[in-house]
Each structure stands twice: as structure tokens, then as C-alpha cells.
Amino acid sequence: MKGQQKIKFPHLLASKWTATHETMGWRHFQVMSREDRGNIVFARLQSVCDTGVNVWVNARNLKNRGLWQPGWTPLAQMEKLDLAVPAFSVDEPVVSN
């Protein structure tokens, strides 16, 4: 990270995000606080469905659309955009008669 400039994220607090994969069992989060450590900005995301679920992420990761979508995206829309990955998958053997 030597020589890299800090990205400021001026509108980070209270912003809303949808995880493309379940994160601690949930997808919809809101930024509750931020912490600047040198050139790195961290965001504390809290699940909107379970306020006991908090996760700290490097704010740069929020720019990765493979991980996070801005706003609260409905699951049906995520599936249409092929962003949602099922929480689990079951591999069933193919049976032929």
C-alpha cells in the first residue's frame, strides 16, 4: 500500500448495502460507523434484520460489485442479475431408468 492515496468515502455512514453472498446469514446491511487506520478506511456493517450481527470490512471492498451492491437489492432482482449464490447447494446423483 506504499504510495497509495487514501480513498475518503465521504458518504459512507448510514449507507445501505446488499451482500451478493450471505454474510453471517444475512444480505442487507447498513454502515453504522467507520474507522480510519492510516490509508485504510474500515466500515462497520450491521445487519438490518438482526442488529446483533456486525461485520467490519475494508471500505474498498464495498466497491467490488462481485461482493457488495449499493442499496438494498431484493433477492429476486439479484437472481435476475445472476448475483445471488444459493446459501447451499445439494449435488444429487443422476439416476437413469
Mean pLDDT within 4-8 = 70
- Residue extents of the structural domains in the chain: 16-72
Q: Alpha-carbon distance 28 to 17, whole Å?
A: 6
* Average pLDDT value over all residues in the chain: 84
Question: Is the pLDDT confidence value at 59 over 60?
Answer: yes
Lowest mean pLDDT among 17-31, 37-51, 66-80, 82-96: 82-96
Residue 79 pLDDT: 79
pTM beyond 0.85: no
Nearest to 61, CA basis, from 4, 10, 9:
9
Instruction: Tell which wins on pLDDT, 70 or 2.
Output: 70
Neighbouring C-beta atoms of residue 83, cutoff 10 Å: 18
- Identify which of 1, 2, 31, 5 has the alpha carbon closest to the alpha carbon of residue 18: 31
